[in-house]
Structure 1
Amino acid sequence: MLSQTRPAGGDTLTFLRAIMRNPQQLGAIAPSSKAVARLAASVVPATPGAVVVELGAGGGVISDAIRDRLPPGGRQLAVEVNEGMVSHLRRSRPWLEVIAADAGDLGKLLRQAGLSHADAIVSSLPWTLFEEARQRRVLEEISASLVPGGTFSTVTTLTVLPLQRFRHFRGLMEGTFATVGTLGPIWRNVPPALVYTGARAGERPVEDLPGEPGAG
């Protein structure tokens, strides 16, 4: 399913305004590039009727990439806590199920939407802005919300890799998922970005997932 064409400037301007109003919610200096969005969305399965949830949808660039890969009969939800971005997503992407809420309540949000689990979860949450306890809570919610065979991806930038909070997050990823891998980097993103992926026990290895390793 292909997303409708829309001016990219509207997404970017809305994103920048949201950053100026509340930088602690977004944790980025610019929206993800389309190349990063495609990489993050590469975990979307081809299974008809698959449920895909995006955490921290922001301006909607990754939402569009997910929609492009969504299989027939699939359902796409976006969880976003920033009020300005929620309004923008609902206005610019009426096809998207936007939930104005915190990703730490993911299990409850899925139940409220009439769902028990998701087949894939895609994130651009600002992990290094989260205290360690919050990192753990959100990752536990993500893991518990995935079906057997489900996958998780999250965008991060190369600039945060040395930070202690990111190293702790990476450790939590390894303790939460049976397999953890990386896709990228995407050098043309500002700043350059990676996508981390995780899979629950018993699933196919993350390195076998479709993606664009090394794309720049």
Structure 2
Amino acid sequence: MAPSSRRLATEVTLPVPESGDPVVVELGPGTGAFTGLIQELLGGRGHHLAVEINPRLASSLAERFPRVQVLNDEAAALPRLLAERGLGVADAVISGLPWASLDLTTQRTTLDSVRRSLAPQGAFTTFGYVHATYLSSARRFRRMLGSSFEEVVPGRTVWGNLPPAFVYHARRPRPRLAPATLDLLVAQVGARAAASTGMRF
């Protein structure tokens, strides 16, 4: 896969606040395709945390973007990482994680960490590749998004990306639910999506 394009980066970074001193978290920044644009949008304001599990990539990012707090850790540790820095909750979480390639447990724990780390009016964006839409893991992640957030809106396809991709815009994180209730909600979201699109989720 090629690094994400500027067009995709523009779509993914839409929730970065235009004013104030926001807390913006980037998960899985990789080679920094979104990092530079987030820095441009912040213009020296607020806090920008980039959580990267690969130590080599984390080191490279820290050298290239000295104003970014690059943390070599897993995305699921986000609530702890914010608390350790006295930041409370994030105003925006922007993800470059390959959700469709993650197993069920990792998807669930990581997305739950995102949900718990967002401010009530915060926003979460991530992207998926068009060709992977029909993978069972990708459909499962879409159901999890619907059970974790009250509003989930898929953006238009970014054909200028290689491969073509689209962005999920999620807002209003739901309260934490018991596992059994969460599983039921995930199933209901999948059923509603299948009924409205004719697809099996």
Q: Does the alignment reach a TM-score above 0.5? A: yes
- 1:163 aligns with 135
* Partner in structure 2 of residue 151 of structure 1: 123
Instruction: Give the unaligned 5+ runs of structure 2.
Output: 175-201
RMSD: 1.4
Unaligned runs of 5+ in 1: 1-28, 203-216
Does the 8 A contact of 2:118 with 2:173 survive in 1? Answer: no
Within 5 Å, which residues of 2 pair with 1:3-18? none
Q: Could you tell me how far 1:31 is from its partner in structure 2?
A: 1.0
Which 4+ stretches in 1 moved above 4 angstroms?
A: none
Distance between the aligned counterparts of 1:65 and 1:185, measured in 2?
A: 20
Determine the C-alpha separation between the residues in 1 that align with 2:23 and 2:154: 23
Counterpart-to-counterpart distance in 2, 1:137 and 1:167: 17
Single out whichever of 129-138 and 169-178 deviates more from structure 2.
129-138
The answer on whether the counterparts of 2:130 and 2:164 sit within 8 Å (CA) in structure 1 is yes
- TM-score after normalising by structure 1: 0.77
Determine the structure 2 residue equivalent to 1:210: none
Measured against aligned partners, the alpha-carbon deviations of 1:61-80 in whole angstroms (never above 9, x if no partner) come to 20111112226631111000
Query: Aligned residue for 1:123?
Result: 95
Q: For residue 29 of structure 2, what is the aligned residue in structure 1?
A: 57
Q: Distance in 1 between matches of 2:96 and 2:111?
A: 13
What fraction of aligned residue pairs are identical, expressed as a percent?
36
> What residue number does 2:147 align with?
175
Asked if the contact 1:45/1:71 (under 8 Å) is kept, the reply is: no
AA partner of residue 23 (structure 2):
V
Aligned ranges 1:58-137 → 2 under 5 Å: 58-70=30-42, 73-137=45-109
Q: How many residues align?
A: 174
Describe how 1:190-201 pairs up with structure 2 within 5 A.
190-200=162-172
Return the TM-score normalized by structure 2. Answer: 0.83
